[in-house]
A and B are shown apart, each in its own frame.
Chain A
Amino acid sequence: MAYSDKVIDHYNNPRNVGSFKKEEEGVGTGIVGAPECGDVMKLQIKVEQDTIVDARFKTFGCGSAIASSSLATEWLKGKTVHEAGGIKNTDIVQELNLPPVKIHCSVLAEDAIKAALNDYQKKAAHESETEKTATSAGA
């Protein structure tokens, strides 16, 4: 099976590889895995005023999984949290021209985005909760 040029490009020059500190404010972390092949993917977003200003990933898996997450981080940047939730695995499949046997890689990337957004929202809710408690305690 041959990889498409776009997959090879992302594989050879992955965008946004790396990580943020999990505890950092505005950072959402998603860690997901594909039970069939054992690939593991970590995807992080950094949010400022509801907009994703930066994204990072680390993927240990096949070329398609790396390309899917690399592409995802590119797409995430500049999107609002709400818009980011609309990224579908089928968009990734189309952009990278993934063959049927590699569709699960795009699913993994979508799951990672969802997990990162979830984590961010949970953290944000928790932070505003603590803020409220702090304010009411101060009052």
Chain B
Amino acid sequence: MDASQTTDSPARDVHRDLPMASSMCWHCQSEVPGEYFCSRCVKVQPLSKELDYFTCLNLPRTLNLDDKALEETFYALSRTFHPDYFATKDESEQSISLGNTALLNAAYQTLKDPIRRVEYLIRLEAGSARTVQTSPPADLLNEILEIQEDIETLRSLSPEESSGQRQALHTKLRDDRGMLAERQARLEACLSEQCQRWDDLQADAGEDARIRAQKDEVLKDLRELLSHRTYIRNTVHDLAEIVG
């Protein structure tokens, strides 16, 4: 009963090339070369803890991803490891299924969002790009501070009094919002350009020092663009709240 149930599990044919935590079954100690289930005792096996999200979902380490493939692999693997299929199994198997599923969910949630995908790639590729402190340009911070102070002032003005000042501030903040939204759009265009650059470099076979240096350069740019985007996005959000 136990064995047949697992064999019938719909997604047992999913690609089996994910690195596993061990090459030996945790239960019966027989060899499990990359299998999700032990071929002897049919127990589910834990995925390697070092598995990166791209490998986990069988995707190349690029920033323009095939969203459909991402989803399909995720669903297929989820069907393999979902805790619901292990509800009647022993505690060890339940906990392995939970661990594998948690990893899959984290991978899927991270990679399906284009921005989180970039952030993750930067963390993953770390290298020299990670240690570079990205300081936002002083003028951007100054600009944002000024806008935030205006927002604060506008909020503190009561509707009855100083309607002239309110009107003026409102108009100014509306303009600021338009300006920042445009800037955000330009930034996002730069971001996709750099993403494409990364993918092109990834497509090159092999990785010599020259390509690595170029990759680090792209990662640095991506990091900087992301940080600028965060500042601008927050402010645009605050502005939208107050001037609509």
Asked whether A31 lies within 8 Å of B148 as measured between CB atoms, the reply is no
Q: Which A35-61 residues have a C-beta within 8 angstroms of B?
A: 35-38, 40, 42, 58, 60
- Is the CB of A63 closer than 8 A to any CB of chain B? no
- Is the CB of B55 closer than 8 A to any CB of chain A? no
In the bound complex, residues from chain B placing their C-beta under 8 Å from that of A60 are 144-145, 148, 238
Say which one of B72-80, B96-104, B196-204, B226-234 lies at the interface with A: B226-234
Q: Which label, helix, strand, loop or mixed, suits the secondary structure of the B interface?
A: helix
* Interface size counted on chain B using CB atoms at 8 A: 18
- Is the CB of B134 closer than 8 A to any CB of chain A? yes
Asked whether A36 lies within 8 Å of B230 as measured between CB atoms, the reply is yes
**Size range of the interface on A?**
10 to 19
Q: Which label, helix, strand, loop or mixed, suits the secondary structure of the A interface?
A: strand
Contacts A33-B136, A35-B134, A35-B136 given; does A42 touch B230 at CB 8 Å = no
Q: Which B215-244 residues have a C-beta within 8 angstroms of A?
A: 223, 226-227, 230-231, 233-235, 238
Asked whether B145 lies within 8 Å of A58 as measured between CB atoms, the reply is yes
Bound: A78/B180 CA distance, A: 40
Asked whether B226 lies within 8 Å of A40 as measured between CB atoms, the reply is no
Task: Name A's B-contacting residues (CB within 8 A).
Answer: 31-33, 35-38, 40, 42, 58, 60
